[in-house]
């Protein structure tokens, strides 16, 4: 728990990655879990360790960064919903090696004056990189606190100059079964109609809390977390924060979104975190913070109501869930 001026200290400075990983190795061998386990852990550590450190990351605005206890890197990188890399929570980490992200480009198109395809290297230079420590609330009623690195989506938007017709933005994930083995057809059909698509209303996209994310814990984003470029919208359920983006399309009509297409009665377009509106199959009133035993109460807009509630003034959020 941070006590003094949390805004001055970056998460990666509190527990360095090396120390953190060494500690894990030490615990693994001290427990005498056996050579096999130790080797496994080392291999895993090596995998994560190959990631590049991001230079010149500044601390994000204090008002946006929570001072809650961070989740461990291991939890953030081993418990993922990323069906392109497999449907089990552990699959994305195991299949991360297939997702090669160099070279990578992102086409920005649609209702804009300056449509452009950006190389990922150029996107990373669009704005200064900031560390944003956000709560992440999954629609499955678990949550984490994650030190993302990125910059406001608005920085990309201003580059392409949207026209007056641009009312929504649609985001599209890569389709490539070679790099995304979860996209290979299976006996029982695909869990999702690829590509994964998501969308935001223009004002949501322009909100300063909404970021394009390129890193985590001081380093470039691991594949299983949506490398090399993902969205993070902290007041919405996790599935809105689309991963491994290849296309950003400005549109006039509300765009289709993947989970809504599959189960419209369970997942709405807005999908703001809302303890009052249960998922038809489970409660959204409480959540389990990963690493904690007792459930906690879920907060409206995932605790970001002060910043974003005004976006939805006059809307019936039970109807527009």
Q: Which residues bind to other proteins, rule: CB under 8 A?
A: 27, 31, 33, 37, 71, 74-75, 78-79, 83, 87, 89-90, 140, 142, 186-188, 191-192, 262-263, 281-283, 286, 288, 290-291, 293-295
Rounded CA separation 246/227 (Å): 11
Rounded CA separation 185/300 (Å): 38
Rounded CA separation 28/185 (Å): 38
Which helix (H) or strand (E) segment holds residue 106: the answer is: strand 105-110
Rounded CA separation 12/32 (Å): 29
In terms of CB distance, is 31 or 100 closer to other proteins? 31
- To other proteins, the closest distance from the beta carbon of 160 in angstroms equals 33
In terms of CB distance, is 10 or 89 closer to other proteins? 89
Distances, alpha carbon 51 to alpha carbons 26, 71, 158, 220, in Å:
22, 19, 30, 6
In terms of CB distance, is 87 or 311 closer to other proteins? 87
In terms of CB distance, is 210 or 274 closer to other proteins? 274
- To other proteins, the closest distance from the beta carbon of 256 in angstroms equals 16
In 3D space, the residue among 284, 286, 248 whose CA is nearest the CA of residue 162 turns out to be 248
- To other proteins, the closest distance from the beta carbon of 301 in angstroms equals 23
Distances, alpha carbon 259 to alpha carbons 208, 227, 262, 267, in Å:
25, 21, 5, 6
- To other proteins, the closest distance from the beta carbon of 98 in angstroms equals 18
- To other proteins, the closest distance from the beta carbon of 111 in angstroms equals 31
In terms of CB distance, is 4 or 281 closer to other proteins? 281
- To other proteins, the closest distance from the beta carbon of 179 in angstroms equals 20
In terms of CB distance, is 1 or 187 closer to other proteins? 187
Rg of the Cα atoms in the chain: 19
In terms of CB distance, is 170 or 258 closer to other proteins? 258
- To other proteins, the closest distance from the beta carbon of 280 in angstroms equals 8
Rounded CA separation 167/284 (Å): 29
Reduced to 3 states (helix: H, G, I; strand: E, B; else coil), residue 122 is helix
- For residues 133 and 60, the answer to whether their CB atoms sit within 8 Å is yes
Q: Residue 24: how many CA atoms within 13 Å on its side-chain side? A: 20
- To other proteins, the closest distance from the beta carbon of 61 in angstroms equals 28
Rounded CA separation 227/296 (Å): 30
In terms of CB distance, is 116 or 261 closer to other proteins? 261
Which residues are 289's β-sheet partners? 143
């Amino acid at each position: 728990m941070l006590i003094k001026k949390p805004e001055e200290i970056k998460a990666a400075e509190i527990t360095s990655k090396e120390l953190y990983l060494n500690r894990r190795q030490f615990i693994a061998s001290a427990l005498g879990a056996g050579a096999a386990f130790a080797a496994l852990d080392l291999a895993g550590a090596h995998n994560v360790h190959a990631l590049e450190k991001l230079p010149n990351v500044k601390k994000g605005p204090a008002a946006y960064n929570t001072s809650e206890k961070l989740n461990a890197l291991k939890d953030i990188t081993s418990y993922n919903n990323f069906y392109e890399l497999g449907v089990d929570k552990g699959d994305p980490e195991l299949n991360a090696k297939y997702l090669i992200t160099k070279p990578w480009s992102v086409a920005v198109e649609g209702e804009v004056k300056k449509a452009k395809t950006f190389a990922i290297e150029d996107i990373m230079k669009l704005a200064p990189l900031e560390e944003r420590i956000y709560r992440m609330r999954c629609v499955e009623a678990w949550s984490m606190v994650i030190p993302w690195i990125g910059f406001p989506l608005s920085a990309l938007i201003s580059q392409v100059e949207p026209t007056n017709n641009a009312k929504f933005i649609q985001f599209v994930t890569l389709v490539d079964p070679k790099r995304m083995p979860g996209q290979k057809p299976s006996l029982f059909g695909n869990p999702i109609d690829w590509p994964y698509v998501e969308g935001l209303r223009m004002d949501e996209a322009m909100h300063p809390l909404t970021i394009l994310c390129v890193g985590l814990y001081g380093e470039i984003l691991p594949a299983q977390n949506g490398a090399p470029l993902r969205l993070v919208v902290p007041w919405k359920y996790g599935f809105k924060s689309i991963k491994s983006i290849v296309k950003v399309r400005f549109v006039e009509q509300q765009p289709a979104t993947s989970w809504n297409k599959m189960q419209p009665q369970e997942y709405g377009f807005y999908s703001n975190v809302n303890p009052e509106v249960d998922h038809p199959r489970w409660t959204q009133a409480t959540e389990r913070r990963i690493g904690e035993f007792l459930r906690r109460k879920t907060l409206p807009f995932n605790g970001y109501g002060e910043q974003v509630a005004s976006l939805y003034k006059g809307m019936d959020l039970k109807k527009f869930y």
